[in-house]
Structure 1
Amino acid sequence: MTAAQETAAYDPSNVFAKILRGEMPAHKIYEDDETLAFMDIMPRGDGHSLVVPKAPCRNLLDAPPEALAAVMRTAQKVARASVAALGADGVTVQQFNESAGGQVVFHLHVHVIPRFAGVALRPHSGEMANQEVLAAQARTIAAALAT
């Protein structure tokens, strides 16, 4: 780790921490004692969701192994449900660490993006998706998890 990474502390005011505390809204897909999965408001593809640990982890570099294991268990559940619910041909799972690695929100999170043959990922434009569309996708994926 670099000196900057070693001194970078977890910031409890990050947007995902606020979602976990119920201070900001999210289109929730799945929740258990250790994780929360919800729709990405700036999706790179239809059904793009995020899985976060409830533990205060900045990223992969400081997360305890138990939090990583919980996140990956939930990511697998959400990926399977997303593929089934949306009729996807595959799934892309991404995880970024520190600014140089592409991380924007400094709370550990995994992107689960259903993929459809011949459809490229949209660029990360910062443009928010239609909230009604995200809510409908969340309900569809959550329903697949419930079966």
Structure 2
Amino acid sequence: MFKWLKLSIDEITGDVFFNKYLEILAGFAEPDKYATAEREIEILVQRGSCPSFYSIFVAFIAQLGWTEDSVKIYYSHRSLKESLKDSLVGKDCPTIIPDSVALFIELKNQTVARRNENKISLQPSGQLLLINVF
């Protein structure tokens, strides 16, 4: 049926080889890694924590070979969660990406701390009620 896919067995080791294996494997490789990384960074949206987002973001930046900090900051800002973008309003944003990410993490920590404060309320009896946040 597939004569071009000839099976060979090594007589000593018993390993199975295909005569066109590398050509077949190459057919599944990424044809344009740069274009794929560019598409991925265009649709990237922060879904988890800032550090996990940053690690994904840095991987795409490395694939693209982008070195200009203003470009990195632009793409990192546009990919952030909306609540974090709101926290950035009125802030002086750093001009280099590591400082920018440190600011994102600090703002996110402040937002979480404030949200946790709001979950603590006083009961009418004056007792402090802690609400489980998990």
Q: TM-score range by the shorter chain?
A: under 0.3
Q: How does the TM-score come out when normalised to structure 2?
A: 0.27
Structure with larger RCO (C-alpha < 8 A, sep 6+): 1
The structure having more radius of gyration, on CA atoms, is 2
Higher strand content, 1 or 2: 1
Q: How does the TM-score come out when normalised to structure 1?
A: 0.25
